[in-house]
Structure 1
Amino acid sequence: MERRSEVSKDFVCDVWKTDRTLPREELIYLRQELQRFRKIDLIQISSFLKDASLFCFDMDSTLIKEEVIDELARYAGVYEEVAQVTKEAMEGNLNFHEALHKRCSYLKDLPVSIFDDLYFKLHPNYGVPELFQELRKKNAKTAVFSGGFSDILERFKQEYSIDEVRANYLDRAGDKLLGTVSGTVVDKNIKRDSLLELQSRFQMRKENVVAVGDGANDQLMLEAAGIGIGFHAKDGLKANISNWIDFASMDVLLYLFEE
């Protein structure tokens, strides 16, 4: 066991080297045992990041604390209606595409300027600004794939110097939203395909590709990456992955780099 040089402002990292890959069940058992004593996260990687790397993220509840469509619904006074559609989707009565289109229909007639107001009320998750600052210094490529909306993602891209974003486009006429979405809908398949596209374009080896998300629609993206990590993940995602972070801030991802 060795202590890494501190790169996170609030969390330290100890490295335990083993000559075998631990099965998922053993990782879960070890997490549970460690967490009996204090808030400890445990992830397993085959090697540290050494060369050029690509980091792909989900947006809502991963990089930011909020779910943007919920915040838009609050502005429009239709939060309960949108929440009901989300509940239907989680119960399996609507697929992702149906739920997205139905929820967006409630945003009809909102002013496009709403995004300017909303963006400054969103809160990055702990460690996010520090992470992106350091990733730029390491010349890592960064991407955000969101089932949310391009109006927010483009602002985020500019603020944090993100290389690539994928999000849904809300149609508009003049200064009003039409309540519809056009173009390719960013769902779980598009997230995975976008990661693979960028991996190819940037000529990255799979082991140098990191994916981070919190929900079930991030699973395929995490599986396609060399290192897939659930960040403060929902149970639906945890049930199908091996690596997740429950307690630490986002900047602990900097421990993935070789010292």
Structure 2
Amino acid sequence: MLLFFSPKNDSDPQRLSEALSDRFKQPAFIERRSEVSKEYVCDVWNIDNALPREELVYLRQELQRFRKIDLIQISSFLNNDVLFCFDMDSTLIQEEVIDELARYAGVYEEVAHVTKEAMEGNLNFHEALQKRCHYLKDLPVSIFDELYFKLHANHGVPELLQGLKKKNAKTAVFSGGFIDILERFKQEYSIDEVRANYLDRVGDKLLGTVSGTVVDKNIKRDSLLELQSRFQIRKENIVAVGDGANDQLMLEASGIGIGFHAKEGLKSNISNWIDFASMDVLLYLFA
């Protein structure tokens, strides 16, 4: 089935139905779901066959010619035991934490240069992380307290996390960032599980190195599979949400993988993503 998310003040189910009928040469009966998002509505087309990625991309482009509308394809709604797994930086929050730390340290340009090297394929994730963290040497550990309260949740994230808690869904956040930030986020939003990197320290100063298991794309996927086994949750009831290429394996291991304001490196390899809607539209995934 196809789920269409439109702004509440700019939704036109009749026009949507007509557009789908014209495209697929069959009647498209649209059902408006009960409202769960403050700003976005959800219309469902219970189409018989799953559409290939190429068709979904074309359909999305055609619909977006008229209004800011998102669509995702699912095989069934979520029910019973559910697990949501998220990336952190640029997914749940607007910022990239390592960039913000670099600004504090006055080394943003240096860290950005390393990031650019990694994106161009000259450094792998582990090398880039270690190289960027080196620039954070001698920052006070207290910087995490100061920084956390300057981070901004993405649109609809608090509402989504509150809604998931009410539905007794399990939640997890797997981040290539730092555990000091994740632990604070876990406490604020009652997240069940977090995975992130540990910046070494002596006394009240950071050493500029990372120790322990580095949370990369493989660890994100493996963490999802670990929680699936531990909580005994069926794959079709697992949702994974991320924005970058290092989230792709996690999304592929889930039943419903969704890019949220995703970068092109991820979009080119997935079928479902959200460009415009707030993240609380994911509450429409429940039966």
CA distance in 1 between partners of 2:239 and 2:124 (Å) = 27
SS at match of 1:12: strand
The residue aligned with 1:177 is 206
The residue aligned with 1:202 is 231
Describe the superposition over 1:45-88 as per-residue Cα deviations: whole angstroms up to 9, x where unpaired: 00000111000000000000000000000000000000000000
SS at match of 2:207: strand
CA distance in 2 between partners of 1:10 and 1:68 (Å) = 28
Q: How does 1:84-123 map onto structure 2 within 5 Å? A: 84-123=113-152
Structure 1 residue 194, shift from structure 2 partner: 0.1
Q: Of residues 167, 185, 189 in structure 2, which corresponds to 1:160?
A: 189
SS at match of 2:70: coil
CA distance in 1 between partners of 2:109 and 2:38 (Å) = 38
- The gaps in structure 2 that reach 5 residues or longer are 1-29
Structure 1 residue 99, shift from structure 2 partner: 0.1
Describe the superposition over 1:118-147 as per-residue Cα deviations: whole angstroms up to 9, x where unpaired: 000000001011111110110000000000
SS at match of 1:152: helix
Letter matched to residue 146 of structure 1: S
Q: Considering only aligned residues, what root-mean-square deviation do their CA atoms show, in Å? A: 0.3
The residue aligned with 2:88 is 59
Describe the superposition over 1:143-162 as per-residue Cα deviations: whole angstroms up to 9, x where unpaired: 00000000000000000000
- The gaps in structure 1 that reach 5 residues or longer are none
Q: Of residues 23, 37, 43 in structure 2, which corresponds to 1:8?
A: 37
SS at match of 1:153: helix
Q: Of residues 8, 19, 35 in structure 1, which corresponds to 2:64?
A: 35
Percentage of matched positions with identical amino acids: 88
CA distance in 2 between partners of 1:165 and 1:101 (Å) = 21
Describe the superposition over 1:149-191 as per-residue Cα deviations: whole angstroms up to 9, x where unpaired: 0000000000000000000000000000000000000000000
Q: Does 1:217 align with 2:246?
A: yes
- For normalisation by structure 1, the TM-score amounts to 0.99
Structure 1 residue 195, shift from structure 2 partner: 0.2
Q: Does 1:134 align with 2:160?
A: no
Structure 1 residue 203, shift from structure 2 partner: 0.2
Letter matched to residue 200 of structure 2: D
Letter matched to residue 186 of structure 2: K
SS at match of 2:71: coil
SS at match of 1:14: strand
- For normalisation by structure 2, the TM-score amounts to 0.90
Q: Of residues 74, 77, 102 in structure 1, which corresponds to 2:103?
A: 74
CA distance in 2 between partners of 1:54 and 1:190 (Å) = 17
CA distance in 2 between partners of 1:7 and 1:52 (Å) = 20
SS at match of 2:171: strand
SS at match of 2:187: helix
CA distance in 1 between partners of 2:259 and 2:87 (Å) = 10
CA distance in 1 between partners of 2:247 and 2:64 (Å) = 25
Structure 1 residue 200, shift from structure 2 partner: 0.5
SS at match of 2:115: helix
Letter matched to residue 93 of structure 1: N
Structure 1 residue 213, shift from structure 2 partner: 0.1
Number of matched residues? 258
Higher Cα Rg, which structure? 2
CA distance in 1 between partners of 2:249 and 2:206 (Å) = 31
